Amino acid sequence: MAIKSLEDLRKIKNESQLQTKARKNNDTQVIVGMGTCGIAAGAREVMAAVLEELSKRGLNNVAVLQTGCIGMCQKEPLLDIVRPGEDRVTYGPVYPADVPRIIADHLVNGIIVEDLVVAKIPNKE
Amino acid sequence: MALVRAHILICTGTGCTASGAKDVLAKFEQELKAKKLWDEVSVVETGCHGFCEAGPLVIIYPEGTFYTRVKVEDVAEIVDEHILKGRVVSRLLFKEPMTSQKVPNYSDIAFYKKQHRLVLGNCGHINPDSIEEYIGAEGYEGLAKAVLTMTPEQVVEEMKKTGLRGRGGGGFPTGMKWMFCAKSPGPKKYVICNADEGDPGAFMDRSLLEGDPHAILEGMAICAYAIGADEGYIYCRAEYPLAIKRLKQAITQAEEAGLLGKNIFGKDFSFTLHIKEGAGAFVCGEETALMASIEGGRGMPRPRPPFPAVKGLWDKPTNINNVETFANVPYIFRVGAEEYAKLGTEKSKGTKVFALTGKINNTGLAEVPMGISMREIIFDIGGGIMDGKKFKAVQIGGPSGGCIPEQLLDTPVDYDSLIAAGAMMGSGGLVVMDEGTCMVDVAKFFLNFTQSESCGKCTPCREGTKRMLEMLIDITEGRGKEGDIEKLERLAKSIKAGALCALGQTAPNPVLSTLRYFRDEYEAHIYEKRCPANVCTAFIGYKITDKCVGCGLCKTVCPVDAISGEPKGKHTIDPEKCIKCGACMVKCPFKAIIRG
Ligand SMILES: Cc1cc2nc3c(=O)[nH]c(=O)nc-3n(C[C@H](O)[C@H](O)[C@H](O)COP(=O)(O)O)c2cc1C
Ligand code: FES
């Protein structure tokens, strides 16, 4: 790694930021329900699919969070998408195969995947 | 590779390592692997956050949850609850000392909220062993900008515009210093970083070196470019092994990346760096003594002028700055002098890192903009005085500084206001004292330090501090005489005027400033033979009050049979026999025995 110009430096900076982005506050979030019920229903696999899809797309400005049981165990695995200034949308049951579609349509393009929606929580701002 | 969804930042600075961070780190690795989470979570070692008191510290992102005093036994619970299920383990959160409220997020803690972490910004938030993470935090952009787009003269001009003053104690304008050295003729020049950090209680330089070593290298390289130096030294005390290890690692990485060494950024600019370990003598922090030490001689100061900028290391023009001073430089060149100069006051720009210690609730490092009041530092950031006691004074500037009493708490903290108040910025050590502190005793403590650290080269410092210390010992042990105060003042004046280096010139400051604000305490010791704070044992006596019911318990514990009295009658202590051990006071179930 020999750095000879500002471009060389910026390149390393961008690569490094990709790795450390999770340490910044991100308003765009993917939240996976990780209660005992969620895990039993396959939430861990959903989480793995989320991470894989995000890294495939190089989306490093998204926070991946977990939440506990919200009392809709029959709909687990649950997955929420939060985009800044928009309603929070809960999807379920979500299987690993559904993840690419939710991320592409909703997270990236802002189009809600209606057939999988469980609930919408209005944005308060 | 899958994306990493969470980062577990574990502080492995000197403080947290001492409280067990390495074991916590190993346990996290074990737990995450056992639960098959190792691939989605990254574990990062960081440098000191300046909050060692609450260590080992663990911060988990993306939430930014701040866990304190994490023990090996807690790790499994954090992994199960937080990492797996996203539930905060609230019993490990930080509790505000004033309100007892638990605070989940790093950025919401009062200790950090009022701070302005510009120099310490990376400390605790990046992996200091990774040059990539430093570059990811915009590291080396300042150097790139300086070397690729500015002439050395422009770099010096830019530094002058910032108004930055040296953080090592003297407060000399850094841009001016660079200019003097740049103007000195000669093909060979040196840059030195003073990492001797000798002030008792100060540890901001250590934190910076451990937590963000590349920032110091970058600052030094920019300086080298500006003054025309091709070689530099970091003089770091050997008591900082972790700092030295991380510096060495950083130098190797920077050399591999071409950011140190020959033809940096492809330009006709080369800079190599060495580390020199110091043996921990306070006087070796003085710049001329420090250079003598690098040259292999005894660490003793010499008269100035000639200043190092003219005749420094091996008689070559040399620029020497403190660690924190250099740590400001990368930021300055990233954002520009004008932006930087917006922070702080008219004559003191930027921020200053203070090390809070003593009778204060939150001890640790606090970086604040210049000009903030002492009250805000102590009460808002520091969380007030321990055990609800009353504030008495704060010693600033260590053994060369002075104290600030209650009535001056609203003084803005900047170089000139502090001098006017009879103290000084120094390296930024703040020792907070409560009502139970004897100010004569404090002066004695600091003078004892400088007296034993005096190198002995000049008479005023060697003999003068010794005589002053003897007088303070006499005063605190009940042998003070009329005229002692005046004699102390006279001696202090002579030492200040006659000592060779700033060690001697500033040694009387603690005595002078306590005399200025607490003269009555000196007088009480000398004339009334009493210590108002009940600290100096020579004046303490134990008395039995009317609360005594005559149980006789005190009599049984007194090791010298100084207590007499009939059962069920009030007992008395014979002051001639009493050795002031205090055992009776501890024993008395009726709190009938008092000190005074
Ligand atoms: C007795 C004595 C001890 C000193 N110790 C230190 C020290 O530990 N660290 C430091 O940076 N400066 C120390 N100094 C100040 C240095 O002599 C010098 O002024 C400073 O390193 C210059 O850097 P600056 O302009 O960036 O502050 C000490 C001075 C004296 C007289
Ligand atoms: S070493 Fe961890 S906060 Fe200082």
Q: Which chain B residue has the Cα nearest residue A8? A: B265
* Cβ separation A68–B266 shorter than 8 A: no
Task: Give the angle A111-A112-A113 at the CA atoms, nearest 5°.
Answer: 115
Beta strands in B325-416 (DSSP E): 351-358, 364-369, 391-396, 402-405
Residue B113 lies in a domain: no
Minimal CA separation from A12 to chain B, in Å: 7
Assess whether B234 and B144 both reside in one domain. Answer: yes
Assess whether B480 and B589 both reside in one domain. Answer: no
Residue B121 lies in a domain: no
Residue B328 lies in a domain: yes
d(CA B179, CA B156) in angstroms, rounded, equals 6
For residue B350, the one-letter residue type is: G
- Paired tokens of B293: 């030490």
d(CA B317, CA B186) in angstroms, rounded, equals 8
Helix (H, G, I), strand (E, B) or coil at A28: strand
Q: What is residue A58's predicted lDDT score, i.e. its pLDDT?
A: 81
B211, HSE (Cβ side, Cα atoms, 13 Å): 30
Q: What is the CATH number of the domain that holds B174?
A: 3.40.50.11540
d(CA A67, CA B84) in angstroms, rounded, equals 9
Taking a C-beta distance cutoff of 8 angstroms, is the pair B343, B118 a contact? yes
Q: Does B7 reach chain A within 8 Å, measured CB to CB?
A: yes
Assess whether B164 and B261 both reside in one domain. Answer: yes
Q: What is the CATH number of the domain that holds B510?
A: 1.20.1440.230
Minimal CA separation from B81 to chain A, in Å: 9
- Paired tokens of B472: 């303070």
Residue A1 lies in a domain: no
Taking a C-beta distance cutoff of 8 angstroms, is the pair A97, A42 a contact? no
Domain residues for the domain of B45 are 6-108
Closest by CA position to A93, among listed A106, A110, A78, A108: A78
Asked whether residue B1 carries a pLDDT value surpassing 60, the answer given is no
Beta carbons within 10 angstroms of residue B317's beta carbon? 25
Q: How far is the CA of A117 from the centre of ligand 1 (A)?
A: 65
pLDDT (tens digit per residue) in B451-495: 999 999 999 999 999 999 999 999 999 999 999 999 999 999 999
Helix (H, G, I), strand (E, B) or coil at B323: helix
Q: What is the mean pLDDT of residues B516-531?
A: 96
Asked whether residue A125 carries a pLDDT value surpassing 60, the answer given is no
Domain residues for the domain of A38 are 24-121
Q: Is A101 exposed, middle or buried (0-12, 13-18, 19+ CB in 10 A)?
A: middle
Closest by CA position to B458, among listed B504, B508, B400, B507: B504
Q: What is residue B582's predicted lDDT score, i.e. its pLDDT?
A: 87
Residue A7 lies in a domain: no
Minimal CA separation from A120 to chain B, in Å: 21
- Nearest 10 degrees: Cα torsion B398, B400, B403, B408: -110
Cis amide prior to A122 (ω within 30 degrees): no
pLDDT (tens digit per residue) in A28-69: 899 998 888 888 888 999 999 999 998 888 887 888 888 877
Number of domains observed in the structure of chain A: 1
Taking a C-beta distance cutoff of 8 angstroms, is the pair A94, A46 a contact? yes
* Cβ separation A20–B7 shorter than 8 A: yes
d(CA B511, CA B473) in angstroms, rounded, equals 13
* Cβ separation B2–A23 shorter than 8 A: no
Interface of B with A in 9-38 (CB under 8 A): 9
pLDDT (tens digit per residue) in B44-90: 999 999 899 898 999 999 888 999 999 999 999 999 999 988 889 99
* Cβ separation B62–A54 shorter than 8 A: no
Beta carbons within 10 angstroms of residue B206's beta carbon? 26
Ligand nearest to the CA of B14: 2
Rg (CA), chain A: 16
For residue B469, the one-letter residue type is: L
- Paired tokens of B278: 């110091």
Residues from chain B contacting residue A60 (CB–CB below 8 Å): 3
d(CA B230, CA B232) in angstroms, rounded, equals 7
* H or E element, residue B341: helix B337-341
Assess whether B310 and B189 both reside in one domain. Answer: yes
Residue B157 lies in a domain: yes
Q: What is the CATH number of the domain that holds B103?
A: 3.40.30.10
Q: What is residue B372's predicted lDDT score, i.e. its pLDDT?
A: 95
Cis amide prior to B567 (ω within 30 degrees): no
Residue owning the nearest CA to atom 8 of ligand 1: B197
Taking a C-beta distance cutoff of 8 angstroms, is the pair B46, B17 a contact? no
Give alpha helix (H) positions in chain A.
Answer: 6-20, 36-41, 43-57, 99-102
Rg (CA), chain B: 27
Beta carbons within 10 angstroms of residue B310's beta carbon? 18
Closest by CA position to B89, among listed B109, B63, B118, B110: B63
Assess whether B183 and B224 both reside in one domain. Answer: yes
Residue B4 binned pLDDT confidence (cut-offs 50, 70, 90): confident
* Cβ separation A20–B140 shorter than 8 A: no
Assess whether B428 and B523 both reside in one domain. Answer: no
Residue B393 lies in a domain: yes
Closest by CA position to B130, among listed B14, B61, B45: B45
Q: How far is the CA of B286 from the centre of ligand 1 (A)?
A: 5
Q: Which atom of ligand 1 is nearest to the CA of B197?
A: 8
Partnered with residue B357 across adjacent β-strands are B431
Beta strands in B54-197 (DSSP E): 58-61, 65-67, 94-95, 102-103, 190-195
Q: Does B257 reach chain A within 8 Å, measured CB to CB?
A: yes
d(CA B268, CA B276) in angstroms, rounded, equals 26
Number of domains observed in the structure of chain B: 5
Assess whether B289 and B147 both reside in one domain. Answer: yes
pLDDT (tens digit per residue) in B158-198: 999 999 999 998 899 999 999 999 999 989 999 999 999 99
Residues of chain A that touch chain B, judged by Cβ-Cβ distance less than 8 Å: 1-6, 9, 12-13, 15-17, 19-20, 22-26, 31, 34-35, 39, 47-48, 50-52, 54-55, 59-60, 63-68
Residue A124 binned pLDDT confidence (cut-offs 50, 70, 90): low
Asked whether residue B263 carries a pLDDT value surpassing 60, the answer given is yes
* Cβ separation B257–A39 shorter than 8 A: no
| A-B Cβ pairs (cutoff 8 Å, strict) | 101
Task: Give the angle A25-A30-A36 at the CA atoms, nearest 5°.
Answer: 115
β-pair type (A88-91, A117-121): antiparallel
Please provide the average confidence, as pLDDT, over all residues in chain A: 87
- For B163, list phi and psi in degrees, rounded to 5: 75, 10
Percent of chain B, pLDDT > 90? 87
Asked whether residue B415 carries a pLDDT value surpassing 70, the answer given is yes
Q: Among partner residues B1, B5, B133, which is closest to A16 by beta-carbon distance? A: B133
Residue A2 lies in a domain: no
Residue B247 lies in a domain: yes
Ligand nearest to the CA of B124: 2
Residue B2 binned pLDDT confidence (cut-offs 50, 70, 90): low
B406, HSE (Cβ side, Cα atoms, 13 Å): 9
Q: Which atom of ligand 2 is nearest to the CA of B21?
A: 2
Residue B537 binned pLDDT confidence (cut-offs 50, 70, 90): confident
d(CA B27, CA B163) in angstroms, rounded, equals 47
Partnered with residue B320 across adjacent β-strands are B192
Q: What is residue A108's predicted lDDT score, i.e. its pLDDT?
A: 92
d(CA B208, CA B192) in angstroms, rounded, equals 16
Assess whether B469 and B520 both reside in one domain. Answer: yes
Task: Name the maximum alpha-carbon separation found in chain B.
Answer: 93
d(CA A50, CA A52) in angstroms, rounded, equals 5
Residue A18 lies in a domain: no
Q: What is residue B391's predicted lDDT score, i.e. its pLDDT?
A: 97
d(CA A51, CA B40) in angstroms, rounded, equals 8
Residues from chain B contacting residue A51 (CB–CB below 8 Å): 2-5, 40
Q: What is the CATH number of the domain that holds A37?
A: 3.40.30.10
Q: How far is the CA of B22 from the centre of ligand 2 (A)?
A: 12
Helix (H, G, I), strand (E, B) or coil at A5: coil
Assess whether B549 and B573 both reside in one domain. Answer: yes
* pTM (global) more than 0.95: no
For residue B78, the one-letter residue type is: I
Beta carbons within 10 angstroms of residue B302's beta carbon? 14
Of B396, B419, B434, which one is at a domain's C-terminal end? B434
Percent of chain B, pLDDT > 70? 100
Asked whether residue B205 carries a pLDDT value surpassing 80, the answer given is yes
Assess whether B331 and B297 both reside in one domain. Answer: yes
Q: How far is the CA of B53 from the centre of ligand 2 (A)?
A: 8
Asked whether residue B3 carries a pLDDT value surpassing 90, the answer given is no
Please provide the average confidence, as pLDDT, over all residues in chain B: 94
Taking a C-beta distance cutoff of 8 angstroms, is the pair B4, A22 a contact? yes
Assess whether B473 and B506 both reside in one domain. Answer: yes
Q: Does B138 reach chain A within 8 Å, measured CB to CB?
A: yes
The top-scoring range by mean pLDDT among A68-77, B534-543, B549-558 is B549-558
**Which long-range CB contacts under 8 A does B376-382 form with residues at least 24 apart?**
B376/B114, B377/B413, B377/B430, B378/B409, B378/B430, B378/B432, B380/B110, B380/B114, B381/B110, B381/B111, B381/B114, B381/B115, B381/B356, B382/B111, B382/B356, B382/B432
Asked whether residue B127 carries a pLDDT value surpassing 90, the answer given is yes
Residue A104 lies in a domain: yes
Residue B103 lies in a domain: yes
Assess whether B143 and B63 both reside in one domain. Answer: no
* Cβ separation B84–A68 shorter than 8 A: no
Residue A45 lies in a domain: yes
Please, what is the angle between helix B213-227 and helix B241-256, to 10°?
60
Q: How far is the CA of B48 from the centre of ligand 2 (A)?
A: 4
Residue A117 lies in a domain: yes
